[in-house]
Structure 1
Amino acid sequence: MTSSATPDIFRTFIEPRPTDPLYAVGPLMARRTTEGAEARPYELFSLTPQTPTIGAEVSGIRLSGDLSDDVLAELRRALLEWKVLFFRDQDIDRAEHREFASRWGKLEQHPFFKYTQPGQSDADVATLAKDGMAAGVENMWHNDVTWHEFPSFAAVLRAVEVPSVGGDTLWTDTGAAYDLLPEDVRARIDHLPAEHDWINSFGRGMPAESVEMLRPLFAPVVHPVVRVIPETGRRVLFVNAVFTQRILGVSEDESNELLRMLYRHVQRPEFQVRLRWQPNTIAFWDNRTCQHYASSDYYPARRVMDRISIVGDTPVGISA
């Protein structure tokens, strides 16, 4: 929890908004897992934490080929514990990338990328190619596909071509962010739903006739503001600045206030991990428990990524 012992020098900055977590100073140390979760070593690969709560580099295994069920079970446990896993020196092709991703569930077929990201060749692989003609625009914190009834469970992102410097990706731990909210804020949001939609993001970059065709297939959806992860019971914030339209059950002003507060809080560096890409690097993250942000600081250099996502389930909130 946040520290109650705030130095006097900071109080003038904090006291005007005592419930706004942006103004909290001092230690921000969250649990990596739910209270009481058993901590066990990893025996089938090496794991090196990158921050106290989120991000770990895995070494000692190859993602191509036939991974045993025991290795997959340990990787799943690591994913639940660390939210995003990094693998270096994985010289795999698109078929091997697809094979690894398919071990985790049904592969997602994104309906909008063929309109907004030219050059797509496979329905289940999103190629994110950015260069001097198309600078990156993914530099907003978000979970993927929350506009869908079944948002992505996870994603596997493979570096195809990276700039010599820049183009990092960041992830933020939305479970740690939830845990370190003031108790009164948690009480306000614990049972609230929010509306998510694609119309103000992907819809803005698509031809009008395509939007009209797809609108009936992908109507706005409602998800809990606080999502519960079924495998762990962990509570996470499940609103993001790209796809969340508004919080329901409160006034427009209160919705705007809460969303601004939560977005600022999620962006605190204490909840983040940052990956500097190298050739043949792969990132595998739990889209339910973290948001990500692609730093768009490499223009006009070229950056090409292949992303394969795994279909998720319907988000569940806190039981009454």
Structure 2
Amino acid sequence: MTTVRNRVGERRTALGPRVLRRLPSGAESAPYTMFELRPCGPLIGAEIRGVDLRDPVRPEVFTELDRALLEWKVLFFRDQPITSAQHRAFARLWGELEVHPFLAQGEVPEVVRFAKDAATVGVENIWHTDVTWRQEPALGSVLRAVEVPPHGGDTLWADLAAAYDNLPADVQERIEGLSAVHDFAFSFGMTMSPERFTVMREQYPPVEHPVVRTHPATGRKTLFVNEVFTHHIVGLPDHESEALLALLFKQATYPEYQVRFRWEPDSVALWDNRATAHYATNDYHPNMRVMERASILGEQPH
């Protein structure tokens, strides 16, 4: 791969083929027998057919869904007219659910509701990984389309293991062992009153996470920084931290590492928050877009 540099010799980007490794080294994909799996591309994202989320998911079906999630990072389901309670029950298959302290709840407390139109423009159109300002960020999330615009409003996901794999070797060596500070103050905190911010800051102080995370189930190394919540890299001067983070943030933006999903009413997406970043396109206003999300509690990154 050829690296393009600017006039002072700093990296801009790399040209040429990229390593697209879906599975950990030595792992092989096995067939799925409980449902039909249709890949959306060679690396990330697959559509699941033959599973009705209104019904209890049998253990053998869950086993294959969990394997598919680890392999494809994002799973899509069409035509799933489920209730909020059924939505919650499906997400709970992977663990206990969070109650988000900053987002509006839907019909049940573990399910948050995003209702966006011209008066409440969405601000999720930036690459990010959810709730990394928590000591134990989410394992994953289940997002359901309640109402979608006639055009636009797609969501994209990026494979952060591929983003790490394709970093130059000297950058991989440089970031190994580094930690970064994650904080809600520069996103959710910007709209809070001083009094509420003080209360929330006591509950959710800034936290440190490794810049390179090892996935607890697959062993893959993934980038674990994002432009919304990552404030700085510990131990680096401000200018070095900003330059290095800018390089790392950019890795999610390459289309080879991405999948793009066009929502329809009753579509559902399940993603691994430990291995991906996502981006909600903000191109549908003044039309309405209503989504509901349940997030699964995770573990402290290592």
RMSD: 1.5
Distance 1:109 1:32, change over 3 A: same
Cα distance in 1 for residues equivalent to 2:249 and 2:132: 15
| 1:106-145 matched pairs, under 5 angstroms | 106-114=96-104, 120=106, 122-145=108-131
Q: TM-score, normalised by structure 1?
A: 0.91
**For 2:42, which of 34, 39, 52 is the aligned residue?**
52
1:37: which partner in 2? 27
Mapped contact 1:19–1:185 kept (Cα < 8 A): no
| 1:188-199 matched pairs, under 5 angstroms | 188-199=174-185
Residue 190 of structure 1 and its aligned partner are, at CA, apart by: 1.3
Q: Which residue identity is paired with 1:56?
A: A
2:250: which partner in 1? 264
1:87: which partner in 2? 77
Residue 15 of structure 1 and its aligned partner are, at CA, apart by: 7.2
1:117-139 Cα deviation digits (max 9, x unpaired): xx755431110000121111110
Cα distance in 2 for residues equivalent to 1:212 and 1:310: 26
Q: Percent of pairs identical after alignment?
A: 51
1:72: which partner in 2? 62
Q: Which structure features the higher share of strand residues? A: 2
| 1:11-26 matched pairs, under 5 angstroms | 13-14=4-5, 20=11, 22-26=12-16
Mapped contact 1:195–1:223 kept (Cα < 8 A): yes
1:178-222 Cα deviation digits (max 9, x unpaired): 001000000000110000000110001122221111111110000
Q: Which residue identity is paired with 1:25?
A: L
**For 2:193, which of 204, 207, 214 is the aligned residue?**
207
SS in 1 for 2:94: coil
Whether 1:175 aligns to 2:166 is no
Residue 19 of structure 1 and its aligned partner are, at CA, apart by: 7.0
Runs of 4 or more, structure 1, over 6 Å off, are none
Distance 1:16 1:72, change over 3 A: farther
Distance 1:62 1:240, change over 3 A: same
Structure 1 portions without partners, runs of 5+? none
Report the count of equivalent residues: 302
SS in 1 for 2:15: coil
Whether 1:158 aligns to 2:158 is no
Q: Which residue identity is paired with 1:229?
A: H
Q: TM-score, normalised by structure 2?
A: 0.96
2:88: which partner in 1? 98
Q: Which residue identity is paired with 1:23?
A: T
Cα distance in 2 for residues equivalent to 1:44 and 1:216: 46
Q: Which residue identity is paired with 2:64?
A: E
Cα distance in 2 for residues equivalent to 1:120 and 1:305: 10
Whether 1:238 aligns to 2:224 is yes
